[in-house]
Structure 1
Amino acid sequence: MSSIETQTESAQYVHYHDGGGPGKRRVLTGQDAKPTFTELPRVDMRRMFSDDFASRKELAVEVGAACRDVGFFYAVNHGVDEKVLDRTFDAVKQFFELPTEVKMEVHNQKTKKFRGYEAFLEGKLDPSTRGDLKEGFLMGEDATDPEQNRPITPATAEPRNQWPTAPEAAFFRPAIYEYYNHMINFSRRMLSIFALALDLPEDYFDSISTHPMTNVRAVHYPPQDSETDVGIGAHTDFCWFTLVFQSQTKEPALEVLNANGVWVPVMPQKNTFVVNVADFLKLVTGGTWQSTVHGVRNMGGEERYSMPFFFSPNEDGVVSVLPQFRKLGGKYEDIVVGEYFQRRLDVDRTTHLDGGEGRRS
């Protein structure tokens, strides 16, 4: 898959990038194999919109089981209009077809938050590869973008996003913001379901998610010709959770790692989001919920596009292990969200401009 596989006389391991550092998992077979998932569960999200608390709680129990046992699930009947999703993908494909000089005007190395365009092979999560075989565009929370209606403070007064100014790219910003606004609304509802799943009040996490850190990443993966290439190296995400909308390719490209070190393919399913637990939910649950390792290998011969949306607590928010997950005598630290986020960004991104050799995330 998208990680290095090593083998000793007695064991084989899959290597990946977890929480800002290298990790590995032994491949287990036969009597050593653990009970684990071999496919992703499907969760019907219609109950999220119900006025009946019992229905929302029933959904939360189902979501909690998926988060505990897998860390990934398909969200169906999520309420985001399919026409919005189609328009977004049309705009994304059109953007990546623009001339290179138009895209490079907003190269991500021009901002501290790595917002803007990332060219092919510039990301390098797995140092054993020549780089991630993808191009992307990243935007996120930015108080200076009027579309977000966020308060401007000394800490948020500097622009973070970049948008291309060429007339032929004028379609892109409004298309991305249409998607962004729908995903913000869905994510807030999703966060309340996660709280319920942890037997907490639905608004438990709201106080540290009033002005959440957010990202939309539009990604284009060309077909891979070589088994040694990766679309993106194996990793975990650093946010509350991620919502992924992926194009309808005939063959799966996204894969997730189960407890036996086996890669499980995630088939695209029409009008469905793939939801995955990320580092902050793993942290607050003391590791009870899985921030599952995943990566992309696009071997099906088709162009692939995806639109992950990353939803995090406030930049100045503080997170720690919830009381019900603390063990007697354990030591637990508070983590400032923005500081952790920036550390992960600095580790995870490398480009030809800084001469980086690739770093583990």
Structure 2
Amino acid sequence: MSATITTTTEPEQYVHYHDGGVPGKRRILTGKAAKDTFNELPKIDFRRIYSHDINDRKELAREVGAACRDIGFFYAVNHGVDEDLLNDTFEAVRKYFDLPTDIKMECHNQKTEKFRGYEAFLEGKLDPNTRGDLKEGFLMGEDATDPEQNRPITPATAEPRNQWPSHPSAAFFRPAIYRYYNAMYDFSKRMLHIFALALDLPEDYFDVITTHPMTNIRAVHYPPQEIESDVGIGAHTDFCWFTLVCQSQTKLPALEVLNGNGIWVPVEPARNTFVVNVADFLKMVTGGTWQSTVHRVRNMGGEERYSMPFFFSPNEDGKVGVLEQFREPGKTYEEVVVGEYFQRRLDVDRTTHLEEGEGRRPYI
């Protein structure tokens, strides 16, 4: 008597995302096909970033380097930025997003080439399979015409880039954002030295291309998601040097990081921490050795969520290429002009999907 054995093969499943501005996908691996990958983010104590002892900073850099190679994300614990300042900034961000829509729309980001200002609900769309990103945001960044930044005005920087609300009810917002901006800028300059040490470079190696760095704060409001297919922001990588994320304290995590098996790993909100991630330029200079890791936001916990990522990049006219230690003999490598790459990614990631002549999509 013979038996017939029938084998069925499950169809392959993929996660889709934007990587370097280019659509990509990763197969979801389970069972015997699964790789050895991460299932949580490491927590790294950053008190050593303020140490006068170079050995302390090098020890910190070794931990940071390992996280950048293996994951591309980590928690910076005990970062030293004043907690009251962070709480005050979150309160200002909440107040801003509670303002009437017409006051926020005065600074609609479609009025500027750099997409600075207010982004309304569903106007971004990183995942084409969704109705749009379920968030509203406000973007500001490097601007020599803003006196708070004390930057030299040149022919290339003489035109205003930022927009700020003029209504008296929003007068609190600009000074609050600039207090946060200054604190994050100072911490980022220290962080840049740690990244250099992690790459076995002199601590000040990257200083020459970050004399007037490109910098951004995107204040973001994610309402609770009621539709399973919605996403706060679609899966993507960041187009900067690195990102520091300060997220509000919600009971359930909303930020998720994609691991090597195509599984989404939740990033729990934790007090007195920044979530730090490698972005495209650091991946670029390390020849892909460091990971610019795909991430997204899905706010399914029933609470309002606020996030204040700070993006740090080299100078706009700076050029970056693969560091010598990561180059293969006989292979040709090109340099990228930072500002040009940044604008290309901005056009891909932040262009509205509103049709010409249509009104703003309603948030419901």
TM-score range, shorter chain: over 0.9
| Deviation of the 1:356 alpha carbon | 11
Give, in whole Å, the separation in 2 of the partners of 1:54 and 1:303: 42
Identity of aligned residues (%): 81
Give, in whole Å, the separation in 2 of the partners of 1:261 and 1:60: 28
What TM-score comes out, normalization by structure 1 length?
Answer: 0.95
Equivalent residue number for residue 214 of structure 2:
213
Q: Is the contact between residue 14 and residue 261 of structure 1 (CA under 8 Å) also seen in structure 2?
A: yes
Deviations 1:235-276 (A, max 9, x none): 000001000000000000000000010100000001210000
Give, in whole Å, the separation in 2 of the partners of 1:229 and 1:355: 24
Q: Is the contact between residue 350 and residue 356 of structure 1 (CA under 8 Å) also seen in structure 2?
A: no
Deviations 1:269-303 (A, max 9, x none): 01210000000000000000000000000000000
Give, in whole Å, the separation in 2 of the partners of 1:14 and 1:152: 44
Which letter maps to 1:113? K
Which letter maps to 1:124? K
SS at match of 2:314: strand
Give, in whole Å, the separation in 1 of the partners of 2:18 and 2:255: 16
Give, in whole Å, the separation in 1 of the partners of 2:162 and 2:316: 16
Give, in whole Å, the separation in 1 of the partners of 2:247 and 2:277: 14
Equivalent residue number for residue 296 of structure 2:
295
Alignment of 1:182-331 (within 5 A): 182-331=183-332
Equivalent residue number for residue 46 of structure 1:
47
Deviations 1:2-42 (A, max 9, x none): xxxxxx95421111100011011111112221111000000
Alignment of 1:1-361 (within 5 A): 9-351=10-352, 353=354, 355=356
**Larger displacement relative to structure 2 (9-18 or 273-282):** 9-18
CA-based RMSD of the aligned residues comes to: 1.3
Which letter maps to 1:236? T
Unaligned stretches of 5+ residues in structure 2: 1-8, 359-364
Q: Is the contact between residue 277 and residue 291 of structure 1 (CA under 8 Å) also seen in structure 2?
A: yes
| Deviation of the 1:352 alpha carbon | 5.4
Deviations 1:197-227 (A, max 9, x none): 0000000000000000000000000000011
Q: Is the contact between residue 138 and residue 218 of structure 1 (CA under 8 Å) also seen in structure 2?
A: yes
| Deviation of the 1:354 alpha carbon | 5.1
Give, in whole Å, the separation in 2 of the partners of 1:170 and 1:294: 33
Q: Aligned pair in 2 of structure 1 residues 36, 356: CA closer, same or farther (>3 Å)?
A: farther
Q: Is the contact between residue 124 and residue 353 of structure 2 (CA under 8 Å) also seen in structure 1?
A: no
Give, in whole Å, the separation in 1 of the partners of 2:150 and 2:186: 14
Equivalent residue number for residue 6 of structure 2:
none
Give, in whole Å, the separation in 1 of the partners of 2:184 and 2:204: 18
Q: Is the contact between residue 37 and residue 70 of structure 1 (CA under 8 Å) also seen in structure 2?
A: yes
Give, in whole Å, the separation in 2 of the partners of 1:167 and 1:10: 57
| Deviation of the 1:353 alpha carbon | 4.9
Give, in whole Å, the separation in 1 of the partners of 2:354 and 2:226: 26
Deviations 1:301-329 (A, max 9, x none): 00000000000000000000000001122
Give, in whole Å, the separation in 2 of the partners of 1:296 and 1:86: 21
Q: Is the contact between residue 245 and residue 307 of structure 1 (CA under 8 Å) also seen in structure 2?
A: yes
Give, in whole Å, the separation in 2 of the partners of 1:291 and 1:330: 22
SS at match of 1:218: strand
Give, in whole Å, the separation in 2 of the partners of 1:352 and 1:28: 32
Give, in whole Å, the separation in 2 of the partners of 1:167 and 1:144: 21
Unaligned stretches of 5+ residues in structure 1: 1-7
Give, in whole Å, the separation in 2 of the partners of 1:188 and 1:354: 41
Q: Aligned pair in 2 of structure 1 residues 356, 122: CA closer, same or farther (>3 Å)?
A: farther
Which letter maps to 2:132? G
Give, in whole Å, the separation in 1 of the partners of 2:177 and 2:337: 28
Which letter maps to 1:348? D
| Deviation of the 1:351 alpha carbon | 2.2
SS at match of 1:247: coil
Q: How many equivalent residue pairs?
A: 350
Which letter maps to 1:262? I
Which letter maps to 1:314? N
| Deviation of the 1:355 alpha carbon | 4.0
| Deviation of the 1:115 alpha carbon | 0.2
| Deviation of the 1:330 alpha carbon | 1.7
Greater Rg over alpha carbons, structure: 2
Give, in whole Å, the separation in 2 of the partners of 1:206 and 1:54: 20
Give, in whole Å, the separation in 1 of the partners of 2:171 and 2:348: 32
What TM-score comes out, normalization by structure 2 length?
Answer: 0.95
Give, in whole Å, the separation in 1 of the partners of 2:353 and 2:167: 24
SS at match of 1:205: helix
